[in-house]
Chain A
Amino acid sequence: TVGAVALDKMGNLAAGTSTGGMTNKKYGRVGDSPIIGAGTYANNLTAAISCTGWGEFYIRSVVAHDVSAMMEYKGLSVAEASALALEKVAKLGGEGGIIALDKNGRIAMPFNTAGMYRGSVTENGKIEVEIYK
């Protein structure tokens, strides 16, 4: 699974996710990536979010929208909301990661696995790429 979240010069947020799913999956199983609100969500009022991991748990926890909702209704920061949403996934037994970017350009990239391929670039062109915990 791959994903991106972006904030443009007009102050607008967007999110996208694309995936090949799970090896050996059957029965037309679909994970969270194409489910709006589960693996992908964006709202200028809160954040843009893209998820990766065990799709069934992200769908059941409606993770991407949950991050946005906690920011909107509880006033949490993008970092607090993302961490909390991932905790709910872990409580159900799931694993994976989230990337999130809020309307002020704050970034959150929590994950509860050994690693996550991830990176960011800011307006001055500074690129950071990480793989491991």
Chain B
Amino acid sequence: NKYILVIHGGAGTILKKNMDPAKEAAYVTQLTKALQKGYEVIRGGKTSLDAVEAAIRVLEDSPLFNAGKGAVFTHDGRNELDAAIMDGKTLGAGAIAGVTTIRNPISAARAVMEKSSHVMMIGLGAEKFARQCNLELVDPAYFYTRERWEGLQKALKEDSTKAVLDHGNKKSQRTEVAAYKDNKFG
């Protein structure tokens, strides 16, 4: 049987002219590392779930991507993390949202799928469940990166009512979200 792994690290205003060679090389290195990690897992006969979790953990641990360490900041200066996982064989699924102390949210989503009768848990309850499952919990400061913190300060300075896509493009900067007069800009 074929075995294949595909990953993404986010979409948006990612332009070669804005990217310095060192930064581009760092992204390519981390994406390659995630692919290698997941490939080792499936080549070794483990499951696609194991490969998905292994690859995403690499990207969550890298400060380059908006997930886990390196996540963006909310208006209140917090890193609120979400994750989901789904098994194509059983249609089992697990998800968590709005957590701030779980080092690898994808592993918590998988624990919800495999160790509870639920599909989704949020906030403090999800963190309590993660602790019961012996997942690694960290101080919220673990997720801090200067670049994302500066991104929040910039957004607050430009207009504190606007949420920002982690790679929003010019189009999205002007798009008005009528309901809350809440523009999006990169």
Contacts and interface: CB of A to CB of B under 8 A. Distances in A.
Contact of A105 (B2, B59, B81): B2
Q: B interface, how many residues as a size bin?
A: 35 or more
A36 B84 CA distance: 7
Interface in A94-119: 95-97, 99-101, 103-105, 107, 109, 111, 113-119
| Most chain A CB atoms below 10 A, which of B2, B7, B34, B171 | B7
B13 interface: yes
A29 B93 CA distance: 21
Interface in B148-177: 148, 151-152, 155-156, 160, 162-169, 171-172, 175, 177
A50 B82 CA distance: 13
How would you classify the secondary structure of chain B's contact residues: helix, strand, loop or mixed?
Answer: mixed
Interface in B69-111: 70-76, 79-89, 91, 93, 95-98, 105-106, 109-110
Interface residues on A, range: 35 or more
A84 B120 CA distance: 28
Contact of A21 (B34, B71, B162): B71
A5 to B, nearest CB: 5
B116 interface: no
Interface of A: 1-26, 28-31, 33-36, 39-44, 48, 50, 52-54, 56, 93, 95-97, 99-101, 103-105, 107, 109, 111, 113-123, 125, 127, 129, 131-132
11 contacts: A2-B9, A8-B42, A9-B45, A14-B47, A23-B152, A34-B109, A42-B88, A97-B11, A116-B12, A119-B32, A129-B31
